[in-house]
Structure 1
Amino acid sequence: MTSVAAAAGLLGCLASFAAGCASAPTLDVLPADEEYTLGTAAYAEGDYGEAAERLNRLVLNYPEDPRVPEVRYLLGQANFRIQEYPSAAQDFERFQGDFPNDSLADDALYWAGRAYEAQSLKPQLDQADTRRAISSYSDLVRQYSSSGHAADAEARTAALRERLAEKEMLNVRYYFKHELWKATEIYARSLIEEYPQSAQVAAAYLILLRTYEAQGKAEDAARVRQVLLDQFPQSPEAEQVRQALGPAEGVSLQARTTR
């Protein structure tokens, strides 16, 4: 093929490509009023996917429109309902960040927490979204203490913190199983200090006790044993300690804890 023919062929290809691009469908930009009407109507009818698309286009194309605060909030709700949780969390956080004095600002933080919580994984897996949910709920309680969502946010925070404690306990058990005593001690103490209300604390004390015993640290073991018996006398872990001590010593320790 000659260079002239090759050039002609190339020009033909480019022309065809340009024609294809010119004929490709484009997304029409509707007037703000029309986007708002269509978006809010879709939301009211429960068509949250359509609502999210319309409302998002309004926010992007008309950022100065006075209805943007309302639209931002509805956009977050629409995304939450179609389980687009990352987008919903971002929508709610932007709303609260841009309009912290709006009457819906506390609602936005609450639903940001709910969106992160919906993405929270079981304790064996990464807990980044669990921590993000806790952060949103904590911000809500701190910044809007009179919010109607505050009590539920606190309850959800407690449940999520228990999940983090379970995650920490998995680490404690792993290091204990592999006889990595220093790591076991670090993680057990971290759990006890960070999550003192957790149901995992008694088990953490028992593993810490066994860790000290395995290292021959008699004084540390005795101190942790007494804390376990004093603070969790009815726990299965305390019962294990009493059984290991034998009847005489177990009775003696029990007497000291009930004085």
Structure 2
Amino acid sequence: MLRAHAVPVSLLALLVVSCATTPPYFGWTADQLYQHGERALEAEDWREAQRAFERLVLSHPGYGQAVQARHHLARAHYEGGEYLSAVGELTRIVQVYPDDPRTPRAWLWLCRSYAAMSPHPQRDQQYTMQARNTCGQVAGDLVGTPMGDSAAVVAREMVDKLGQQALAVGQFYFQRRIYGSAEHVFRRLVEDYSETSAAPTALMRLIEIYEAWGWDDQRQETSDRLLRQYPQSPEGRALTEVAMPDSVARAANRGALLWKLRRVWRPALA
């Protein structure tokens, strides 16, 4: 009679551990990994795509589609919300394969990845500045192309966010009547971020500061600049409506001017 032999417990445990620690996709060829990763991308299974392409580029660095696999890996990280990992992979691509025809697209996705990590204007803007610089570089290098145009749009968004951050800092000082610091911030803002929506608001605040200080020349100079550079802004239109041709009438109307400008400002704080 045949009798079953008991398997030693230690051997059984070793077999279980061995199976549990077998690397994913063990024994798969490079082509199998690549095709599996592509199917995962099509199914928007970003985590599975990451695993497949990570295994591919680590196990088969000389694979003929290795560069494209890294692009796919970066996309899987980006679409999965792992922007920092996407930045790492894309940075590797642009540094190791600068002359590859697919590298310009990697630069664009690097721009977008930094932008995706850009926080609320009141937080640290390290990634916003990185996005502005990277996107601006891409826009300059690929000017006149769809990718360059796309990067330029993102760069402008980042610049506007930096302008909003500077505006929030200036507003912090202004609300506490620390006018010296507020003036410094607002003056810097209108020079560094003159093309943003924050600039006319900063000029309006400068008008109020100079009014509080009794600096009529600076107030008038700033008012003229607001009307000249941003006539269609809410602040510019408000200033135009209350402006009068002679200086005596303008002086008499300062209270109405400041009241109207403050009404323009308040909705922006909501």
Normalised to the residue count of structure 2, the TM-score between the two structures is 0.75
The CA RMSD measured in Å over matched residues stands at: 3.0
Query: Which stretch of the first structure deviates more once superposed, 231-240 or 84-93?
Result: 231-240
**Of 48, 51, 54, the match for 1:50:** 48
How far has the Cα of 1:191 moved from its partner? 1.2
Percent identity over paired residues: 27
- Supply the distance in 1 between the matched residues of 2:35 and 2:203 (Cα, whole angstroms): 60
**Which residue type is aligned with residue 77 of structure 1?**
R
Task: Give the count of matched residue pairs.
Answer: 237
Does 1:111 pair with 2:109? yes
Q: Residue deviations 1:68-89, cap 9 Å, x none?
A: 2111101111222222222122
Aligned residue for 1:149, secondary structure, equals: helix
Give the 5 Å matches for 1:1-259.
Answer: 23=18, 25-28=21-24, 29-30=26-27, 31-145=29-143, 147-238=145-236, 241=239, 248-249=246-247
- Supply the distance in 2 between the matched residues of 1:36 and 1:228 (Cα, whole angstroms): 58
Q: Does the 8 Å CA contact 1:137/1:154 hold for their aligned counterparts?
A: yes
The verdict on how the C-alpha distance between 1:25 and 1:206 changes in structure 2, with shifts beyond 3 A counting, is same
Q: Does the 8 Å CA contact 1:243/1:250 hold for their aligned counterparts?
A: no
Query: Which stretch of the first structure deviates more once superposed, 74-83 or 240-249?
Result: 240-249
Q: Does the 8 Å CA contact 1:73/1:108 hold for their aligned counterparts?
A: yes
How far has the Cα of 1:241 moved from its partner? 4.8
Q: Does the 8 Å CA contact 2:112/2:154 hold for their aligned counterparts?
A: no
Aligned residue for 1:46, secondary structure, equals: coil
- Supply the distance in 2 between the matched residues of 1:146 and 1:244 (Cα, whole angstroms): 43
Aligned residue for 2:220, secondary structure, equals: helix
- Supply the distance in 2 between the matched residues of 1:90 and 1:250 (Cα, whole angstroms): 63
**Which residue type is aligned with residue 189 of structure 2?**
L
How far has the Cα of 1:206 moved from its partner? 1.5
Task: Give structure 2 stretches of 5+ with no counterpart.
Answer: 1-9, 252-270
- Supply the distance in 1 between the matched residues of 2:156 and 2:139 (Cα, whole angstroms): 13
Query: Which stretch of the first structure deviates more once superposed, 117-126 or 96-105?
Result: 117-126
- Supply the distance in 1 between the matched residues of 2:233 and 2:146 (Cα, whole angstroms): 36
The verdict on how the C-alpha distance between 1:248 and 1:76 changes in structure 2, with shifts beyond 3 A counting, is same
- Supply the distance in 2 between the matched residues of 1:45 and 1:132 (Cα, whole angstroms): 32
Detail structure 1 runs of 4+ shifted over 6 Å in the superposition: 18-21, 242-247, 250-253
The verdict on how the C-alpha distance between 1:80 and 1:183 changes in structure 2, with shifts beyond 3 A counting, is same
How far has the Cα of 1:137 moved from its partner? 1.5
- Supply the distance in 2 between the matched residues of 1:196 and 1:174 (Cα, whole angstroms): 20
**Which residue type is aligned with residue 102 of structure 2?**
L
- Supply the distance in 1 between the matched residues of 2:151 and 2:227 (Cα, whole angstroms): 33
How far has the Cα of 1:232 moved from its partner? 3.2
- Supply the distance in 1 between the matched residues of 2:248 and 2:87 (Cα, whole angstroms): 53
Task: Give structure 1 stretches of 5+ with no counterpart.
Answer: 1-14, 254-259
- Supply the distance in 2 between the matched residues of 1:27 and 1:99 (Cα, whole angstroms): 29
- Supply the distance in 1 between the matched residues of 2:149 and 2:41 (Cα, whole angstroms): 28
How far has the Cα of 1:53 moved from its partner? 0.5
Aligned residue for 1:60, secondary structure, equals: helix
Q: Residue deviations 1:207-242, cap 9 Å, x none?
A: 112223333433323322222233334544345556
- Supply the distance in 2 between the matched residues of 1:162 and 1:243 (Cα, whole angstroms): 27
Q: Does the 8 Å CA contact 1:96/1:109 hold for their aligned counterparts?
A: yes
**Which residue type is aligned with residue 83 of structure 1?**
G
- Supply the distance in 2 between the matched residues of 1:237 and 1:146 (Cα, whole angstroms): 34
